[in-house]
Amino acid sequence: MHTLHRHIFLSVLLTCAAATSLFAFVLLSANAFKDLLGYALSGQLPIGVVLGLLPLLLPYVLVYALPLGVLTGVLLVLGRMSAQLEITAMRAAGLGLGYIARPVLLLGVLGAALALYLNFHLMPVARTAYRTTLADAVRQNPLGLIVPKTFVNKFPGYIFYVGEKNGGALQDVWVQRLDKSKRTSELVHALRGQVDYDERANTLQLTLLGLTILDRRNPANPEIFSNTDFQGKSDPPPALPPWQLDEVLGPRTIFQPRPNQLTLEQLLAERHRLASAPPAADAATTRTHEQERMKVEVALQEKAAGAFTVLTFALFGVPLGIRVSRRETSANLAVAIAVALGFYLLTECLHWLDQYPARRPDLLQWAPPALLLLLCAWLYRRAARV
């Protein structure tokens, strides 16, 4: 590699790494905020478990951060070199645009290879481990289901509200008993309560303590507050049934990832299974089978096209970065974000066609990078004339 190529390659590589890290940090924070913050604030997940889950989120966000980082890095470096007349000096020395773009092309190929590994192996494995670990961590702290100052509706037939909680001891406990139509049929308020977990029976037991206020509605029309069967104080308080943890959290099952969260080996095995299935007996079953088969094909093509997008973004950034030619990094960053948002918006729109196998949504996954390549070729022709 020539000295000039080495200079361009290292400059773009370091800038792409920094930009990818920035985008990954933003996406990681957003996903952690959405998935984990509620568990952490309620005490259902210790901070150590939350920190241990963050690395499992990283491959998932890198799938989206890597193309953005490559595009931004190429735009920033070539825009700076163009603004400082380095590109002009190279072209005055007889170096064509293809010569200047070679290091970027090499970087794009390496980025595409990394994206293939992320899409087909690392991300699916990490995503499955993340979902499984999160579900198991929540189950290991069943008392954390009762969150203070929050309406808890995970218990079948009941809604709970607790003012304060200290371990299993509760203060200011409100219990709403629901009928089959999810209407409040009984309202109980106790100053104190206790929640216990029976590990052997795998049950949660909420016990009301002391004097309680009871408001029992007429089951014929419980939504009319004045229509009550009983309203007064109760001592001892009414007993509540124990709840099986499987009824509250659902049965302990293995996480079933969607097709786009399967590894390459799993996708190929699923495609073989669907292809070798016997013919369906009716049209509805045939249509469902074709939709499942197409989802697998779409996932395969989407992952491959997503890796190719990294190379496409790298090539697209060369003529765009030279033509932008501004010293301000914010201008280049805005261009990168605008192009990427338009690209991903078109990609997401294609997902609406997953239910229509006859329209070949699997092959249409290559439409966004193909359109970007055509635009890239047009920009290269214009940049070569300057």
- pLDDT tens by residue, 292-306: 888 888 889 989 998
Instruction: Kindly state whether residue 261 falls inside one of the protein's structural domains.
Output: no
**Using CA atoms, how far apart are residues 377 and 237, in angstroms rounded to an integer?**
77
Instruction: Kindly state whether residue 86 falls inside one of the protein's structural domains.
Output: yes
Contacts (Cβ under 8 Å, ≥6 apart) of 366? 301, 305, 308
Ranked by mean pLDDT, the top range of 42-51, 228-237, 305-314 is 305-314
Instruction: Kindly state whether residue 322 falls inside one of the protein's structural domains.
Output: yes
Instruction: Let me know whether 303 and 326 are in one domain.
Output: yes
Instruction: Let me know whether 94 and 51 are in one domain.
Output: yes
Give the per-residue pLDDT at 85.
79
**Residue where one domain finishes, among candidates 229, 247, 265:** 247
Instruction: Let me know whether 34 and 109 are in one domain.
Output: yes
Six-digit token string for 105? 């092309």
Res. 251: pLDDT tops 60: no
Instruction: Kindly state whether residue 101 falls inside one of the protein's structural domains.
Output: yes
Give the per-residue pLDDT at 285.
76
What range does the domain containing 11 cover? 3-140+273-385
Give the per-residue pLDDT at 353.
75
Instruction: Let me know whether 169 and 121 are in one domain.
Output: no
Instruction: Let me know whether 240 and 213 are in one domain.
Output: yes
Instruction: Let me know whether 8 and 131 are in one domain.
Output: yes
Give the per-residue pLDDT at 226.
60
Residues 20, 12: contact at Cβ < 8 Å? no
**Using CA atoms, how far apart are residues 61 and 348, in angstroms rounded to an integer?**
16
Instruction: Let me know whether 164 and 122 are in one domain.
Output: no
Instruction: Kindly state whether residue 150 falls inside one of the protein's structural domains.
Output: no
Instruction: Kindly state whether residue 268 falls inside one of the protein's structural domains.
Output: no
Res. 160: pLDDT tops 80: yes
Instruction: Kindly state whether residue 259 falls inside one of the protein's structural domains.
Output: no
Instruction: Residue 15: name the closest of 83, 72, 87 by CA.
Output: 72
- pLDDT tens-place string over residues 32-83: 888 887 777 766 777 888 888 889 999 999 998 999 899 988 888 888 888 7
Instruction: Residue 186: name the closest of 217, 155, 232 by CA.
Output: 217
Q: Model-level pTM?
A: 0.73
Instruction: Let me know whether 284 and 351 are in one domain.
Output: yes
Beta strands in the chain (DSSP E): 158-166, 169-178, 184-198, 203-217, 228-234, 243-244
Res. 311: pLDDT tops 90: yes
Instruction: Let me know whether 18 and 162 are in one domain.
Output: no
Stretch 203-229: mean pLDDT, rounded?
Answer: 70
Stretch 333-350: mean pLDDT, rounded?
Answer: 77
Instruction: Kindly state whether residue 252 falls inside one of the protein's structural domains.
Output: no
Contacts for 344-351: CB closer than 8 Å, 24+ residues apart? 344/64, 346/371, 351/298
Give the per-residue pLDDT at 35.
80
Instruction: Let me know whether 277 and 135 are in one domain.
Output: yes
Stretch 259-288: mean pLDDT, rounded?
Answer: 82
Tally of domains within the chain: 2
* Distance (Å) of CA 192 to CA 147, 171, 207, 236: 15, 5, 9, 12
pLDDT-above-90 percentage for the chain: 18
DSSP state of 1: -
- Return the bridge partners of 162, or none: 173
**Residue where one domain finishes, among candidates 209, 231, 247:** 247
Give the per-residue pLDDT at 234.
66
Minimum mean pLDDT range among 65-69, 74-78, 207-211, 354-358: 354-358
DSSP symbols for 207-271: EEEEEEEEEEE-TTSTTSTT-EEEEEEESSPPP---EEHHHHH---------GGGS-HHHHHHHH
Instruction: Let me know whether 282 and 376 are in one domain.
Output: yes
Instruction: Let me know whether 91 and 36 are in one domain.
Output: yes
Cα-based torsion angle of the residue sequence 334, 336, 342, 345 in order, rounded to the nearest 10 degrees = -110
DSSP state of 150: S
